[in-house]
Structure 1
């Protein structure tokens, strides 16, 4: 494609769309073609962009979201009109609530047909507006570059999210005149005001039980680097939401109380209840409802690139709004001495460390079959080293993993908690692998979530993606089941039949494995990890201890 920065005649609008994508630095486009958008697919053949056909449009958005979360640059999905767009909704809503930058381009009927009863006519802009940061239709070929460029800017700036561009068939099929806009990137704001930063530093110095609560934005690479400096200088206890996994490095791990979310019963929750000062860094209420952790007794500080989204349980006393990395760096400069932990805070952190040690020493001794979740988590910890990326689906297994499997690299672990979407793990893994083909990716799902996106095994095989997918098998929607049982003392709609996942994986051309005894767990995982290409391991799980997840579960009760 000719991306020279001057006005020119384009053979078709599709060429101009692709030219703008190249200018944005796009390397992969995920999608499914159709008659209203196939001209853009054709234009991609003459570009530097790798086209990745997928098996369902929602998975195109999930793959694009993984690219966006890992790189910070918006991933791209490309789909046809009508159901092609409507199938995309779940993926776009998930990306938006998870803070993942995604730009989706959707086909549409010709402008002259919009008022007619023609097939695949749909008001997609109205449909996407509630679940994206930006949704617009290109109404003139003169506007192609501007609309696409602005979609990227909106998706990537502030707290990232999703953006949707509708492309009518006549816009992409007919000749166009215009120029490609340069990708100037997202402008960075400065740090929060110095006086406010100094005020927060004084609050930390005078607090008896300050706590940092980390959210998704704290795990951005540049933010986590300065966060490490702040944690090292202040020695303030820290907890995080599931989305901030990996933001705390190993040097500061002794002051990390683990992750919090869903149920208020973790070490981090106890620190938050004890706190007289809570400093939220890169946090959004969608990650963990403030009513679950904010008693209202502590002074509340909000540090983010965006002002707080206020609600009755989240009204900060002071907000440090600006570039997070710059703000944290300046705040660290104001810290004169490390915090002396109160006896209660020290006790909470020490107990958390003892529980980690207990799992390390005794987790492998849980020998019942089907396997206890902690036995599987312990085995996974051995294979998920710093060079491995982990993507986690939604289900009760994700609570066990989020609580007890630790990581020390920002964005090493992807967990859905905003929409709590099932089926994300495998497509996320494919997107993550395409970003870093030299890095092994482990994805995890339950048997319910896996079958919502398992058609993408074919995509993984076609690409030769170096992915190990682990399935926790219990023949039911267990996360729903434990909540139904607690509320109604009976179950409804949570059971389904068994699948031979080893044979299923092999039918797609992947390697399939099934764990058939407690003793075979670790050897099977190691063998599957050595496969170069897609592999699937099915592990029967015994979820009988799941009800304890909602209570004050202490590992000494199990191990």
Structure 2
């Protein structure tokens, strides 16, 4: 027997439908069953996951790729507490997510009742908006507020607690979604003109692209800016893909984590830096701007996160795409020979590294050879989702992309386990596109259970596991600090058998010369395919080598 079609759960679902929600990811339970029951009669596709954290990762990935908040639905108690890592990750990555969690009846919430928990207090630090709906008349209002918070400004997460008695109670109220986000205009005209004057007067200006520069309209505006001015540009890991192929001569590369990249040389020599959509969590300003006597221009939809090393002279706050377009019109194309020479040197180095990578043979496989082979696939417009680990730094530094958000990289919380769930999200967001996700063997098992979910959804992706038997990124930092590692080694997993046990297919890359043929074979297979490769990480300590003695790692 279905529930009352005019109860709180059905009103919530009608709001979600009106908001345009296509998928909900989650795990059921007694305290949230009224909502799961209401979804049976809905056009929304319900995807049952194997862990709430992974469900949130999938929702976050979908949010990043579509710009619309991904939705996760879980039960009370540990169901909600398991959301915390996923919500923290999405919030610091700028990925819109609305999380819905079951709760005990209102009369029980102050008691030591089964699964009673102050979930709003628990999740408030990792969300932009968190509330418990304590009345049927507040359902539509709270739902609209949650979506507006998740999708506005710098996107992030919102949480709604749903007491079971409120979801079962009569709720004849109106639907208030879709809750549209107001469009901002460009920044102040006089401030834009002053910014243009500073840029034109600078000898070595550099554009630093951040995570929100990869949003579609902003990326288009940035490309127009680069076409008109040919300004030198660097990007954080999350800004991958914004710089088009025909402006690679202006691109110094990516920066993040450690101050030792070619683009850091570009930033070090800059007498003015223009940040677009940049959040300090992407690349700590103390690593690239400490003690610098130069001008800073901050372009974003929210104010700068002000600190000792990041105090913009001009903040252009408003719609970033409109602001960048207005700025582009005022700027003059200008030759900057010294900067052009450095960019040419960086381009030669990039070409040399690629040529050397192609020559790396044998087994275990060197990371650069793997990046070289992945580059061929990325150039075919394949989406790539990266987990966190040493391999992620190799890819972030050397894998070039020319489509915004073609490569999904985490650098906020640096959370292990995101890649496979993000791969599922990418398959759902763009069903016709082939997807590759990559993890280390350390992070793989954090979310590997969702391979069954991917099989059930018939997701057409290839997940590659770089194998070395350790939490290597932690280990190299321990060795650098203490001369030895601690608690970073673990045992092997038979990836082929693991894949088969989940209903997927598994392959192993035997040596460097088999990478391309094995990956091509995997890409031609239907459904999820797991590919393992043993990697040679002997050069990993160089990933952390500081370019300057005063850089603190």
Instruction: State the TM-score, normalizing by the size of structure 1.
Output: 0.96
The aligned length equals 543
1:403-451 Cα shifts (integer Å, max 9, x gaps)? 0001001111111100000000000110111111111111000001000
Question: Cα offset for 1:517?
Answer: 2.1
- Where 2:437 maps in the other structure, the secondary structure is strand
Structure 1: runs of 5+ lacking an equivalent: 1-8, 554-559
Which residue among 415, 423, 430 is the counterpart of 2:424? Answer: 430
1:439 aligns with 2:433: yes
1:257 aligns with 2:249: no
Which residue among 390, 412, 415 is the counterpart of 1:421? Answer: 415
Structure 2 CA distance, aligned partners of 1:548 and 1:231?
32
Q: 1:259 to 1:311 in 2, by over 3 A?
A: same
Structure 1 CA distance, aligned partners of 2:342 and 2:488?
36
1:198 aligns with 2:160: no
Structure 2 CA distance, aligned partners of 1:386 and 1:227?
23
Structure 1 CA distance, aligned partners of 2:354 and 2:28?
49
1:4 alignment counterpart: none
2:444 alignment counterpart: 450
Structure 1 CA distance, aligned partners of 2:546 and 2:514?
31
Which residue among 385, 389, 404 is the counterpart of 1:391? Answer: 385
Structure 2 contact 362–513 (Cα < 8 Å) conserved:
no
1:33 aligns with 2:16: no
Structure 1 contact 267–349 (Cα < 8 Å) conserved:
no
- Where 1:164 maps in the other structure, the secondary structure is strand
Question: Cα offset for 1:518?
Answer: 2.3
509-518 or 479-488, which moves further after superposition?
509-518
1:56 alignment counterpart: 51
1:297 alignment counterpart: 293
Structure 1 contact 209–342 (Cα < 8 Å) conserved:
no
2:220 alignment counterpart: 225
1:479-537 Cα shifts (integer Å, max 9, x gaps)? 00110000000110100001111111111111100011222111101100111210011
Structure 1 CA distance, aligned partners of 2:521 and 2:94?
35
Structure 2 contact 464–531 (Cα < 8 Å) conserved:
yes
Question: Cα offset for 1:386?
Answer: 4.8
1:401 aligns with 2:395: yes
1:82 aligns with 2:77: yes
Structure 1 CA distance, aligned partners of 2:177 and 2:537?
53
Which residue among 309, 327, 332 is the counterpart of 1:331? Answer: 327
Structure 1 CA distance, aligned partners of 2:416 and 2:243?
27
419-428 or 110-119, which moves further after superposition?
110-119
1:546 alignment counterpart: 540
- Where 1:285 maps in the other structure, the secondary structure is coil
- Where 1:103 maps in the other structure, the secondary structure is strand
1:33-65 Cα shifts (integer Å, max 9, x gaps)? 000001111111111100000000011111011
Question: Cα offset for 1:359?
Answer: 3.3
Which residue among 472, 477, 482 is the counterpart of 2:471? Answer: 477
Instruction: State the TM-score, normalizing by the size of structure 2.
Output: 0.97
Structure 1 contact 85–106 (Cα < 8 Å) conserved:
yes
Structure 2 CA distance, aligned partners of 1:347 and 1:109?
65
Structure 2 CA distance, aligned partners of 1:77 and 1:294?
38
Question: Cα offset for 1:184?
Answer: 4.2
Structure 2 contact 145–179 (Cα < 8 Å) conserved:
no
1:493 alignment counterpart: 487
1:6 alignment counterpart: none
Structure 1 contact 101–155 (Cα < 8 Å) conserved:
yes
Structure 2 CA distance, aligned partners of 1:98 and 1:489?
33
1:363 alignment counterpart: 357
Structure 2 CA distance, aligned partners of 1:99 and 1:409?
18
- Where 1:272 maps in the other structure, the secondary structure is helix
2:551 alignment counterpart: none
Question: Cα offset for 1:142?
Answer: 0.2
Structure 1 CA distance, aligned partners of 2:153 and 2:121?
23
2:550 alignment counterpart: none
Question: Cα offset for 1:360?
Answer: 3.2
1:308 alignment counterpart: 304
- Where 2:30 maps in the other structure, the secondary structure is coil
Structure 1 contact 217–282 (Cα < 8 Å) conserved:
yes
Structure 2 contact 255–397 (Cα < 8 Å) conserved:
yes
Which residue among 223, 227, 246 is the counterpart of 2:241? Answer: 246
Structure 2 contact 8–167 (Cα < 8 Å) conserved:
yes
Please report the RMSD computed on the Cα atoms of aligned residues, expressed in angstroms: 1.1
Structure 1 CA distance, aligned partners of 2:315 and 2:350?
34
Question: Cα offset for 1:378?
Answer: 0.4
Question: Cα offset for 1:385?
Answer: 2.9
1:5 alignment counterpart: none
Q: 1:104 to 1:304 in 2, by over 3 A?
A: same
Structure 1 CA distance, aligned partners of 2:158 and 2:366?
41
Question: Cα offset for 1:472?
Answer: 0.4
